Amino acid sequence: MRSKSKQVLSLWLEGFREACSLHRVVILCHRSRKLLLRTGQCFLLNGLIFLGSLGVFKWFIDPALQWILPDQCSPLTSQEFCSYGGFYAFLRGGLLQLFYVFWFYPLYMLSFILSNIWYNDIAKHGFEAIEKSDISSAEALREGEAPASLNSANSERPSGLGGVMIGIGEQVYSILLLTFFFLEVYVVGVIPYIGKILNFLLLSWMYAYYCYEYKWNFSGIPLEKRLDFFESNWAFFTGFGSPCVLAIFFLSPLVSGALMAILFPLFVLTATGSGPEKSIGAPRRTWKCAGLGRLPIFYVADTLSMLALSIFRLESPHEI
C-alpha cells in the first residue's frame, strides 16, 4: 500500500506539473501566428469584456446603486427619505436583474458559443505548431515518434465509408458519454459531507479529459483506446485536472465561467504539448501506472449512454 500510495502521489504530481507547464503556450504562440490570434481573441472576449464587465458591475455599478437607492437609513438621512427604503430596495433589485438578463446572460452565451469554436481552432493550430517546433521529446509529439503509435491506432479503423460511419458513431457516443458524466458531476455535488470532495475529483477528470480530447481527435486515436488509457492513468489525469478546478471551485458560477473560459485554452495547449499518449499503443504493463489498476471513471456515464442508444435503436423502426 505504501509503494502504491507513493506511485499515485508521484503520478498526481507529474500530471499537476504538466498542467502548470504554461511556458508551452508561449512557445506555441511564438511558432504560430494563427494560434496567437485565436488565443488573443479568446482572452479579449472572456478576459477584458466578460470578466471585466463582472468587475465593473461589482466594484462600480452595484455600489453606485447602493448609494443612490439605499435600503438602510443613516442618522443623517431624513425620515421622509427612509420611508422609501423598501421601494428603493425593490427598485435596485429590479435594476440588478435587468443587468443580468440583458447583459451578463447574453454575454455568457456568446462567450460559450464563440469559445467552443475557438477552442477547436486553438487546439488545431497548437497541434500543427507542435509538428513544426523543436520542443524536447518529453514535451511534444515529434514527427518521427508520433506516427508509430498513431498509425497503429488508425490502422484498426477501416478506410472509406465504413471508417466515416465509425467516426460519426464515436462522436455521438462521446457527446452522450460526456453529457451524462457532466450530469453525474452535478448530482454528486449535492451529496452531504463528501459531495464537494467527489465533485472536485470528478471535475478534475472531466476537465483533464476535455483538454486531451482535442489532441486525441487530431491524432486519430480511437475512442476505446482513449478511455482505456484515461481510466488506466487516472492518477496522472487527476493531477492534470486539479489546477483547472482549483482556479474556479470557490467562485460564483458567472465568475468561474469567465475565468475558465480564459484558462481552458491554456490547459488545452499544455495538453497538446505533452506526450503521455505516446504509450497508448504500447503494452499496458509498460505504462507508468502499471500495478494501480484501471479505475472505471466513466462506468455510470457509459451505462446511461448505452441505454440511451439502445432505446433509440428500439424506437426508430416504429417511428419510420
The mean pLDDT of 187-203, rounded to a whole number, is 89
Residue 26 belongs to some domain of the structure: yes
**pLDDT of residue 130 exceeding 70:** yes
Burial class of 239 by CB neighbour count within 10 A (0 to 12, 13 to 18, 19+):
buried
3-state SS of the chain: helix, strand, coil percent to 5? 80, 0, 20
At 76-110, the pLDDT tens digits run 444 454 555 566 677 777 888 888 888 878 887 88
55 pLDDT above the threshold of 70:
yes
Q: State which of 113-122, 160-169, 273-282 shows the largest mean pLDDT.
A: 113-122
Is residue 219 in a domain?
Answer: yes
Residue 154 lies in a domain: no
| Residue 107 within a domain | yes
Averaged pLDDT for residues 39-64: 84
- The per-residue pLDDT for 205 is 93
Does residue 62 have a pLDDT over 70? yes
pLDDT at 315: 53
Position 16 confidence tier, pLDDT thresholds 50, 70, 90: very high
**Other residues' Cβ atoms within 10 Å of the Cβ of residue 171:** 12
Q: What is the pLDDT of residue 258?
A: 82
Digit-coded pLDDT (tens) for 246-271: 888 888 877 888 888 888 999 999 98
Each residue of 275-286: b (16+ CB within 10 Å) or e? bbbbbbeeeeee
pLDDT category of residue 219 using cuts at 50, 70 and 90? confident
Is 175 within a domain?
Answer: yes
The answer to the question of residue 201 being in a domain is yes
Question: Of residues 70 and 259, which shows the higher confidence score?
Answer: 259
Q: Tens of pLDDT along 138-177?
A: 444 444 444 444 444 444 555 555 555 666 777 788 888 8
**Three state DSSP letters for 165-227:** HHHHHHHHHHHHHHHHHHHHHHHHCCCCCCHHHHHHHHHHHHHHHHHHHHHHHHHCCCHHHHH
Does 308 reside within a domain?
yes
- Name the residue range of residue 230's domain: 1-74+81-142+162-315
In a domain, 320, yes or no: no
Compute the average pLDDT of residues 262-288: 74
38, pLDDT greater than 60 = yes
Cell digits of residue 85 = 427604503
pTM, two decimal places:
0.77
Structure letter (DSSP) for residue 252: -
Mean pLDDT score of the chain: 78
Q: Which of 245, 277, 250, 251 is nearest to 264 (CA)?
A: 245
Number of domains in the chain: 1
Provide the sign of the torsion angle of the four alpha carbons 191, 196, 199, 201, taken in this order: negative
